[in-house]
Amino acid sequence: MEEKLQRINLQKVPNHIAIIMDGNGRWAKGKGMQRVFGHRNALTAIRETADTASELGVKFLTLYAFSTENWNRPKLEVDALMSLLVTTLKKELPEFQRKNVRVNAIGNLANLPSNAQKILNKVIDATKNNTKITLTFALSYGSREEIVNAIKNISKKVVNNEIEIEKINEKIINNHLYTFNLPDVDLMIRTSGEQRISNYLLWQMAYAELYFTDVLWPDYRKEHLYDAIIDYQNRERRFGKTSEQIETNE
């Protein structure tokens, strides 16, 4: 693992990493357990990934914890996930403070149970001045819904003469998204072998590098994040330019 760390250029780590934490259910099923068992055992992966990202100098880490579509899952599983969210946030708050982690959340948070909203707001407020890394949980999140809401809010401002149609640009759209206080995603990681982005940060990942791994999320550890960042650093990010332009900084 030390060899992998030495291959990482700490001056060029991704500023913002987004992760689709996939495979909890399959991991549990493979052990003859219910899906909830997989979700509970995913916490170690979250802690180790957040710690590793922070150690490497990553400033923003966003985790897809619960999508708008996940509300359609069996009630038992949804209730267990919400309960797990509450207990985890309560338990981890002292660690967030000790490690200088700022906690953030994006999504239609009003749909969360009241006790989940309460503890989430408490942790967000308690960590708002922390500066090492911003750990964002995407909860009741769907990118299409996010974009639709942004369009509605911008439209209202146009009708009320607060915004001129001709003045609408990327910055204005960004400012009306859940992620208005986050930079664009540099690297998106999805675990479990699935290769799709599942309605996640569609606008924010316009130029992100996508990395897919067969590792199931509960098994995800420090060396796996190293692998993703090494792969990222071996790619040429052109943002629409040619390789020659990148080489000459044109």
The pLDDT tens digits for 40-53 are 899 999 999 999 99
Interval 126-142 mean pLDDT: 98
pLDDT-derived band at 242 (thresholds 50, 70, 90) equals low
- Is 71 one of the annotated binding-site residues? yes
Which domains, ranges and CATH numbers included, belong to the chain?
Answer: 12-141+185-235 (3.40.1180.10)
Quick one: which of 12, 93, 123, 7 has its CA closest to 58? Answer: 12
The CA-atom distances, in angstroms, between 160 and each of 46, 97, 164, 177, 213 are 44, 42, 10, 19, 47
- Is 79 one of the annotated binding-site residues? no
Quick one: three-class SS letters along the chain?
Answer: CHHHHHCCCHHHCCCEEEEECCCHHHHHHHCCCCHHHHHHCCHHHHHHHHHHHHHHCCCEEEEEEEEHHHHHCCHHHHHHHHHHHHHHHHHHHHHHHHCCEEEEEECCHHHCCHHHHHHHHHHHHHCCCCCCEEEEEEEEECHHHHHHHHHHHHHHHHHCCCCCHHHCCHHHHHHCCCCCCCCCCCEEEECCCCCCCCCCCCCCCCCCEEEECCCCHHHCCHHHHHHHHHHHHCCCCCCCCCHHHHHCCC
pLDDT at site 1: 77
Range with the poorest average pLDDT among 6-15, 30-39, 166-175, 235-244:
235-244
Flag whether pLDDT at 250 surpasses 60: no
More confident residue, 178 or 34: 178
Per cent of the chain over pLDDT 90 is 88
- Is 131 one of the annotated binding-site residues? no
pLDDT-derived band at 247 (thresholds 50, 70, 90) equals low
pLDDT-derived band at 236 (thresholds 50, 70, 90) equals confident
- Is 68 one of the annotated binding-site residues? yes
Q: What is the pLDDT of residues 54-87, one digit of tens each?
A: 999 999 999 999 999 999 999 989 999 999 999 9
Average pLDDT, the chain: 94
- Is 140 one of the annotated binding-site residues? no
pLDDT-derived band at 36 (thresholds 50, 70, 90) equals confident
Range with the poorest average pLDDT among 89-93, 96-100, 179-183, 246-250:
246-250
pLDDT at site 117: 96
Identity at 250, one-letter amino acid code = E
- Is 92 one of the annotated binding-site residues? no
- Is 69 one of the annotated binding-site residues? yes
Interval 233-244 mean pLDDT: 70
The CA-atom distances, in angstroms, between 169 and each of 10, 151, 204, 215, 242 are 34, 12, 15, 39, 25
Residues annotated as catalytic (active site), given as ranges: 22, 70
